[in-house]
Amino acid sequence: MASSCSINSMCLSLGEQSSKTLIITTPSSFFAKPSRRSQNFHVSCNNNANNGDEHDKNVARRNVLLGLGGLYGASNLAPLASASPIPAPNLKSCGKATKTGSTKEVGYSCCPLTPDDWNNIPYYKFPPISKLRKSPVAQDVTEEYIAKWYLYFYERILGKLIDDPTFALPYWNWDHPKGMRLPPMFHRETTSLYDARRNPHVRNGTIIDFSSSTDEVYTDVKKTVTNNLTVMYHQMITNAACPLQFFGARYVLGNNNMNDRGTIENSPHTPVHIWTGTVKGTVLGDGKPSFGEDMGNFYSAALDPVFYSHHANVDRMWNIWKGLGWKKKDITDTDWLNSEFFFYDEHERPYRVRVGDCLDTKMGYDYAPADIPWINCRPTRKGREGKVDLTNIEPANKVFPIANLNKPISFCINRPTTSRSQKDKDEKEEVLIFKGLKYDTSIYISFDVFLNEDEDVNTNELDKVEFAGSYVNLPHVHAHNKRMDYGETFQLDIIELLEDIGLEDDDTITVTVVPKKGGEVISIQSVAIEFLEG
257-300 pLDDT per residue, tens? 555 678 888 889 999 999 999 877 887 777 778 878 889 888 78
- What percent of the chain stands above pLDDT 70? 67
pLDDT over threshold 70, residue 66 = no
pLDDT in tens, 470-491: 998 888 645 444 566 567 889 9
Q: For residues 399 and 420, what is the distance between their CA atoms, to the nearest angstrom?
A: 28
Task: Tell me the mean pLDDT in the region 440-468.
Answer: 91
CB 235 within 8 A of CB 268: yes
Which one of 241-245, 425-429, 525-529 scores highest in mean pLDDT? 525-529
Per-residue confidence (pLDDT) for residue 91, from 0 to 100 = 56
Residue type, 237: I
- Alpha-carbon distance of 515 to 360, in angstroms, equals 39
User: For position 89, what pLDDT does the model report?
Assistant: 58
What span, in angstroms and rounded, lies between the C-alpha atoms of 14 and 181? 9
Q: Which residue has the higher pLDDT, 449 or 351?
A: 449
End-to-end CA distance of the chain: 29
With contact defined as beta carbons under 8 Å apart, do 354 and 338 qualify? yes
SS3 assignment, position 135: strand
Check residue 88 and give its pLDDT.
62
Give the mean model confidence (pLDDT) for residues 10-28.
Answer: 27
Instruction: Look at residue 43 and tell me whether its pLDDT is greater than 70.
Output: no
Q: How confident is the model at residue 246 (pLDDT cuts 50, 70, 90)?
A: confident
Give the pLDDT band of residue 323 (cuts 50, 70, 90). Answer: confident
Q: Give me the residues paired with residue 402 across strands.
A: 524
How would you list the strands of the sheet with 467-473, edge to edge? 409-414, 508-517, 445-451, 467-473
Distance CA 292, CA 290 (A): 5
> Higher pLDDT residue, 365 or 39?
365
Go through the domains of the chain in sequence order and give each one's CATH number.
Answer: 8-376 (1.10.1280.10), 390-533 (2.60.120)
User: Looking at residue 103, what is its pLDDT?
Assistant: 65
Most confident of 9-13, 71-75, 321-325, 369-373: 369-373
pLDDT at position 61 is 30
Q: Give residue-wise pLDDT tens across range 216-232.
A: 555 688 999 999 999 99
What pLDDT score was predicted for residue 79?
Answer: 31
Structure-model confidence comparison of residues 444 and 467, the more confident one: 467
Cβ pair 432, 245 in contact under 8 A: no
Task: Give the Cα separation of 336 and 252 in Å (integer).
Answer: 8
Q: How high is the pLDDT of residue 109? A: 55
**Residue pLDDT, tens place only, 177-201:** 999 999 999 988 888 889 988 998 8
What CA–CA distance (Å, rounded) separates 439 from 422?
A: 38
pLDDT category at 33 given cuts 50, 70, 90 is: very low
pLDDT of residue 507: 96
Mean pLDDT of the chain: 75
Residues facing 121 on adjacent strands: none
Averaged pLDDT, 26-55: 32
Burial of 44 (0-12, 13-18, 19+ CB in 10 A): buried
Q: Higher confidence at residue 67 or residue 364?
A: 364
Q: Residue 346, exposed/middle/buried by CB under 10 A (0-12, 13-18, 19+)? A: middle
